[in-house]
Amino acid sequence: MQLIEVTPRDGYVWFRQGLWLFRKNPLTFLMLLFIYLMALQLAIFIPLIGIIAALVLNPGLFVGIMTACRDVIQNRRVSPAILVSAFRTSNKPAISGLLKLGGLYAVAVFALSLIVGSLVDLRELMPVLMREAEPSAETAGILYRALLVGALLYIPVAMSFWFAPLLVAWHGVTPIKAIFFSWIACWRNRGAFVTYGIIFGILMVAIPFILEAFFRSIGAGEFMSFIVTPYSLAMLTILYCSFYATYRGCFNVKPAAESNSDDTQTPNPDDF
């Protein structure tokens, strides 16, 4: 497997490719992401076990979404069942590897939660999170601090698991090696990922914040969700589509499932 080292500009290229892929079949991707998010939301309602199951199964579900991206590029029909396609394969080592990877991901997330909890007093946030009290300036500050600390600590976790599910499912790499290769790929292409992160940070955080402030300033806060919610969902879907672009941008090895297919349809900057 050969790693491709790209330039910082490629972070913008990945965004454009994600947008191109989303525009190719928006309804399919919106449907898949809605089912994916609903499944995770329902799992959270089951105390502890549901959260653990969601974290363990997440790498496999992620592979399902990436498989949908690959199939849409190849003009194949995509059904909701593709979300669990990684667990329906006859490749038992790949299934086992994804479950082990999910277990490692769950351990990393719980460890991260403990660290954040030790650095930020989350007890003051519980009444607000449970909607038992109105947020104050102090609790808002604690919330933003917790989110900032969590985001910074999650970066190494994200780098380690960014490509790992695809390396396990499509290339037969063991979970530990997949985590290592994913980290190396993200680190060597950190300039492109910084550009990529800034673009989606503006689109998914800054713009909704500005829209929310605008609607509240004109006294139309009740109408805010009718614009911000669809916009945020569309941006999140484009983000997931762009994940596939980052994979194809950083690795020049075809997945086994694509070895007999025409690769000329892979998006590039001139496809838009």
Q: What percentage of the chain reaches a pLDDT higher than 90?
A: 60
User: Exposure string (b/e) for 207-232, b if CB count within 10 Å is 16 or more?
Assistant: ebeeeeeebeeeeeeeebeeebeeeb
Please give the pLDDT value at position 40: 85
pLDDT of amino acid 90: 77
Classify residue 243: in a domain, yes or no.
yes
Residue 132's SS3 state is coil
Name the average pLDDT for the chain: 85
> Would the pLDDT of 219 be above 90?
no
Amino acid at 124: E
Beta strands in 27-167 (DSSP E): none
Residue with tokens 């992620």: 62
The answer as to whether 1 is a domain residue is no
Which is higher by pLDDT, 103 or 115?
103
Q: Can you give the pLDDT at residue 252?
A: 82
pLDDT at residue 31 in the model:
94
**pLDDT the model gives residue 179:** 97
Q: Is residue 5 part of a domain?
A: no
The answer to whether 32 and 244 are in contact (CB under 8 A) is no
Residue 169 lies in a domain: yes
Q: Is residue 146 part of a domain?
A: yes
- Centre a 10 Å sphere on the Cβ of residue 66 and count the other Cβ atoms it contains: 22
Model confidence at 133: pLDDT above 50: yes
pLDDT tens string 178-208: 999 999 999 999 999 999 999 999 999 899 8
What's the whole-number mean pLDDT along residues 109-132?
71
| Averaged pLDDT for residues 155-167 | 96
Residue 208 lies in a domain: yes
- Global pTM value: 0.85
Does 4 fall in a domain? no
**Over the stretch 56-82, which tens digit does the pLDDT of each residue have?**
999 999 999 999 999 999 999 999 999
Q: What is the predicted pLDDT for the residue at 263?
A: 38
Confidence (pLDDT) at 270: 41
pLDDT of 145: 76
- In single-letter form, the type of residue at position 179 comes to I
- Are 113 and 51 in contact, with CB atoms under 8 Å apart? no
| Residue-level pLDDT at 104 | 97
Residue 251, helix vs strand vs coil: strand
Residue 219 is given by DSSP the state T
pLDDT at position 124: 61
Q: In the chain, helix, strand, coil percent, each to 5?
A: 80, 0, 20
Structural domain span for residue 120:
10-271
> What value does the mean pLDDT take over residues 226-234?
89
Residue whose token pair is 């999650």: 154
Whether the CB-CB separation of 239 and 200 falls below 8 Å is answered with yes
| Residue 2 within any structural domain of the chain | no
pLDDT band at residue 123, thresholds of 50, 70 and 90? low
Total number of domains constituting the chain: 1
CB-CB contact of 21 with 267 (8 Å): yes
